[in-house]
Structure 1
Amino acid sequence: MIVSLQNEQVKHVVSLHDKKGRKEYREFLVEGKRFVQEAILRQAQLKKIYYTAQDAAMEKSDLQQSLSIGGLVTEIRALGIEAEEVSEAVMRKMSATEEPQGILGIIRKTEFDWQDILIEKDTILLVVDGIQDPGNLGTILRTALAADVKQIILTKKTVDLYNPKVLRSSMGSVFSEVILADKTPEEIAIFCRQKECSMVVSTMGGTSIFKTNIREDYPLALIVGNEATGPSAFFMEKAAKHYSIPMFNNVESLNASMAAGIFLYEMRRQGQFL
Structure 2
Amino acid sequence: MRHELITSLQNPLVKRLHQLLERKGREEQDRFLVEGAHLVEEALNSGAEVLTVLYDEQREIDPACQRAIEKRSGELHIVAVSPAVLGKLTETRSPQGIVAEVKRNQGNWTEWMKSAAERDYLLLLVDEIQDPGNLGTILRTAEAAGVDAVILGEGSVDLYNGKVIRATMGALFRLPVFVHPLPELIEELQSREQARVLVSSLKENSFAYYEADYGGKLAIVIGNEGRGVSEEVARLADGYVHIPLYGRAESLNAAVAAGILVYEAQRSRKTSKK
Task: Say yes or no: does 1:40 pair with 2:44.
Answer: yes
Cα 1:184–1:123 shift into 2, 3 Å: same
* Per-residue deviation, residues 142-194 of structure 1 (Å, max 9, x unmatched): 0000011131111111110000000000111011122111x223212222122
More moved, 159-168 vs 24-33: 24-33
Give the AA of the match of 2:15: K
Cα 1:84–1:245 shift into 2, 3 Å: same
2:72 to 79, 89, 93: 79
* 1:130/1:156 contact within 8 Å kept: yes
Give the whole-Å Cα distance in 2 for the aligned partners of 1:152 and 1:170.
13
Give the whole-Å Cα distance in 2 for the aligned partners of 1:151 and 1:171.
17
More moved, 12-21 vs 112-121: 112-121
RMSD of aligned C-alpha atoms? 1.8
* 1:135/1:166 contact within 8 Å kept: yes
Give the AA of the match of 1:31: E
* 2:58/2:82 contact within 8 Å kept: no
More moved, 155-164 vs 203-212: 203-212
Give the whole-Å Cα distance in 2 for the aligned partners of 1:90 and 1:177.
31
User: In the alignment, which residue of structure 1 is the partner of 2:184?
Assistant: 187
* 1:122/1:271 contact within 8 Å kept: no
Cα 1:178–1:74 shift into 2, 3 Å: closer
Question: Shift of the alpha carbon at 1:138?
Answer: 0.2
Give the whole-Å Cα distance in 1 for the aligned partners of 2:156 and 2:240.
21
User: In the alignment, which residue of structure 2 is the partner of 1:240?
Assistant: 238
Stretches (4+) displaced over 6 A: none
Question: Shift of the alpha carbon at 1:71?
Answer: 6.0
* 1:76/1:83 contact within 8 Å kept: no
Cα 1:120–1:135 shift into 2, 3 Å: farther
Q: Normalization by structure 2: what TM-score? A: 0.89
Cα 1:260–1:7 shift into 2, 3 Å: same
Q: Normalization by structure 1: what TM-score? A: 0.89
* 1:47/1:106 contact within 8 Å kept: yes
Structure 2: runs of 5+ lacking an equivalent: none
* Per-residue deviation, residues 197-254 of structure 1 (Å, max 9, x unmatched): 1111012332101123332xx2111110001111010122110100011211333221
Task: Say yes or no: does 1:4 pair with 2:12.
Answer: no
What SS is found at the alignment partner of 2:241? Answer: strand
Task: Say yes or no: does 1:112 pair with 2:110.
Answer: no
Give the AA of the match of 1:184: P
Give the whole-Å Cα distance in 2 for the aligned partners of 1:150 and 1:18.
29
What SS is found at the alignment partner of 2:225? Answer: coil
In the alignment of these two chains, the number of paired residues is 260
* 1:151/1:177 contact within 8 Å kept: yes
Give the AA of the match of 1:214: Y
Give the whole-Å Cα distance in 1 for the aligned partners of 2:243 and 2:48.
36
Question: Shift of the alpha carbon at 1:126?
Answer: 0.9
* Per-residue deviation, residues 117-144 of structure 1 (Å, max 9, x unmatched): 3345431111000110000000000000
